[in-house]
A and B are shown apart, each in its own frame.
Chain A
Amino acid sequence: MNGEQAPLLQLRHVAKSFGGLRVVYDLDLEVRDGEIVSLIGPNGAGKTTVFNLVTGIYAPDDGEIVLEGRDIAGLPPHKITRLGIARTFQTLRLFLNMSVKENVMAAAYGHTSSTVLESMLRLPRARREEREIAQLAEEKLAFFGQRLVGYRWDQPAYSLSYANRRRLEIARAMATKPRLLLLDEPAAGMNPVETGEMTELIGRLRDEGGYSILVIEHDMHVVEGISDRVVALDHGVKIAEGSFDAVATDPRVVEAYLGLRKRASA
């Protein structure tokens, strides 16, 4: 690992509680440029909360969240997205009554600038931006091969299958032109074929798309297939970090998952 290069994203001693419940505690985490980092941990470990902290949906109680040397903790989400972090939602939060293409186009808001008046009068800048946004959206949707092209562009998002909704979430995040993508369980609910496709896609996102990626995933085949580095979380605390093999065999990680299973079967 190259220690000289400053990380793209760095979390230092980040903590967050809800009421009395400590959900994330003293968390250090970094993502370097061009890296794919997986965040794993049993249900309720605090993984999604980490995403919510990084994207500004919650402000941390303590600690720093640094993006390219700038502390972004406490900024509103739309500003953080403009600075280059985009995410998908575990629970799928598409704009269901908008068309597939519009979902992606809507996410271009942050890097376009025509004013209301320019848009109402279709002045040259608004017209040019409209063309660029449409092109961007088509390009991002084409990233998913045949899955999201052609007649699907004009279908409402609610008509998509579950797997396609997950893909559309990713396409929408890409349209914000981020440097770092946060993917929250991108393969959840997919069948084995689709999961395989998703694994390959995440690799392509980095290699062809040029994104750095922080991904939460439960499916260990996916994690094994994509990760440069794995971070394991349990009860809001980092319990292991390193290569997939090292983390997967780490006794504390095994214990965290097994313990959960024991509790569940009890």
Chain B
Amino acid sequence: MDRDRTDLPPENVEPGRPRVGVDEWVAQVDQRRDRPTGIAGVARRIGEVVTPPIRLAIVVVLAALVPLWLGEGDLFNYGIFVLLYILLGLGLNVVVGFAGLLDLGYVAFFGFGAYFYALLSSEHYGIHWPAIVSIPLVVLATSLLGLVLGIPSRRLLGDYLAIVTLFFGQAFVVFVNASNPKVAGKGLTGGPNGVADIDPVSFFGYEFTTRTQQYALLLAAGVVVLVGLHFLSESRTGRALRALREDPLAAEAMSIPVNRLKLLAFGIGAGIAGFTGCMFATLLTAVTPGNFDVPILITVYAVVILGGFGSLSGVILGAVVITVSFQFLAPENPQNNARVLFYTIILLAIVLAVRSWWRLLLVLAGTVGLGIAVHAIVAAFAPTWTSGQAVEAGRFGDLISDWVIIPQGHPDFGNVAYVALVVALLVLTQMRPTYRLLAIPAVAYLAAVVWETSFVEQPAVARWILFGALLVVLMNVRPQGLLGTPRVEIA
């Protein structure tokens, strides 16, 4: 009645080495595979030396220095928005990263918090409650709303839950958009115009009026939430949430009340979103339905995905990268910004894709050399193809004009190059690693050509394409996110 054992691995002939498949063998293979090399290895080793408290201290000190460096306007556009996205990302991370519940209605909690706070602190209903009362009330109410919305998650998982929550998110936007002038003169929630003239936040008479003060307040809140979530993650609840993400049935069998924890995850996430909503409302002094629509959902997800689901420090990095790249590319900023970012992305993509130092050097040298060669050849035979000038040149742009071929009077060239680039990128992803290494310089150069001839002319389009490219590149190279740990899928 013995089971037949033909499926066991063959005995290892080499003495002194573990048999294939036994745990010693698996551990050795794993160590070999995990051995940190190149840039990833350096990052890993730094991560091992710098423990979480030190990391937090460094980040906080750096963040506290930001106001000295940025003016009030930039502090709002960069500093305050980064912090708002960090808070939003941290809340979403509890639901999606820890508990693995795909919640696409998350922004509605943010919106609910913002609107609720706005209505409690404006002339809309003539209510002006002190923040010390209204903020806790809003957070509590949003958490409760989260619990209620979490109820479908008891039965639904994955795609189904995503659809139900997405519906809720959209229903919220439609709801606040509706305006019945019979109510309060401007509709229950102000309709498309939203609520304006929201009171500045103040605690016990201390008003946070300057951007620096507001930034400090948000920074303090961010640190509190971050530390709280870090402790939570390393607690019975945190482990239970992750267990639920990994295997709900096994979690349930290991004494974890899975349904209660799902609601809890929704509640905590919604509470943080609600708090962020309060801050958003008071700092912008106005809220409209458009603030809580799909684009912001995508952006918050981008923050969390980019940082790596489940990673708290990842959220910070994700929020910084995304907010800064967004603001950096804002229409009112000089075109050169976009150019700098574009070349940074290309460089970053290459650095991440090429894992060893010397190969990286070869690829970079290859890219530069290829450009110089192509430019020289084209200039010799067909001068009109290189006689164009980089838009908004500056010193960097001048250098670029001598490297990238920018034609004059060939209007379709940009579009052709664009199509070629798309094809080249698709081909690149299908190539074998050795060939890919050879193809990277050519593709990078082509991308530069497309940028200088086509996208610079259309800043609005370029902005989104850059953003998308950033995400695609990063996620392709590190599917687990910048600071996430690689995960295996459970069959």
Binding site for B on A (CB under 8 A): 55, 57, 76-78, 81-82, 86-87, 89, 93-98, 102, 105-112, 114, 116, 119-122, 126, 129-130, 133, 147, 151-152, 155-156, 158-164, 172-173, 175-176, 188-189, 191-192, 218-221, 257
Interchain Cβ contacts within 8 Å, total number: 148
**A159-B30, A163-B23, A220-B1 are known contacts. Are A114 and B235 too (CB-CB below 8 A)?**
yes
CB neighbours (8 Å) of B228 from chain A are 120-121
A109 and B235 contacting across the interface, CB-CB below 8 Å: no
- Known A-B contacts: A95-B242, A119-B236. Give 18 more (CB < 8 A): A57-B252, A86-B255, A93-B249, A95-B246, A96-B247, A97-B488, A106-B240, A106-B251, A110-B254, A111-B255, A116-B232, A151-B27, A156-B485, A159-B26, A188-B3, A219-B2, A219-B3, A257-B1
Task: Type the 1/0 row for B197-236, where 1 means its CB is closer than 8 Å to any CB of A.
Answer: 0000000000000000000000000000000110110111
Chain B residue with the shortest CB-CB distance to A105: B239
B250 and A109 contacting across the interface, CB-CB below 8 Å: no
> Which stretch in B186-194, B256-264, B400-408 binds the other chain?
B256-264
CB neighbours (8 Å) of B249 from chain A are 57, 93
Q: Number of contacting residues on B, CB 8 A?
A: 44
Q: Does B270 contact A (CB under 8 A)?
A: no
Task: Type the 1/0 row for B382-420, where 1 means its CB is closer than 8 Å to any CB of A.
Answer: 000000000000000000000000000000000000000
User: Closest 6 A-B residue pairs measured CB to CB?
Assistant: A110-B255, A119-B235, A161-B23, A93-B250, A95-B246, A120-B228
- Out of A93, A155, A163, name the residue touching B30 (CB < 8 Å): A155
Which one of B27, B238, B250 has the greatest number of beta carbons of chain A within 10 Å? B250
A-B contacts, 28 listed (Cβ < 8 Å): A78-B255, A78-B256, A81-B254, A86-B253, A95-B243, A95-B250, A97-B485, A97-B488, A98-B239, A98-B242, A106-B240, A106-B251, A109-B256, A114-B236, A119-B232, A119-B236, A120-B229, A121-B231, A126-B231, A126-B235, A152-B27, A155-B27, A159-B30, A160-B23, A161-B25, A162-B21, A188-B3, A191-B22
A218 and B3 contacting across the interface, CB-CB below 8 Å: yes
Q: Does B490 contact A (CB under 8 A)?
A: yes
Task: Type the 1/0 row for B13-51, where 1 means its CB is closer than 8 Å to any CB of A.
Answer: 000000001110111001000000000000000000000
A contact face: mostly helix, strand, loop, or mixed: helix
CB neighbours (8 Å) of A133 from chain B are 236
B255 and A176 contacting across the interface, CB-CB below 8 Å: yes
CB neighbours (8 Å) of A105 from chain B are 236, 239
CB neighbours (8 Å) of A87 from chain B are 253
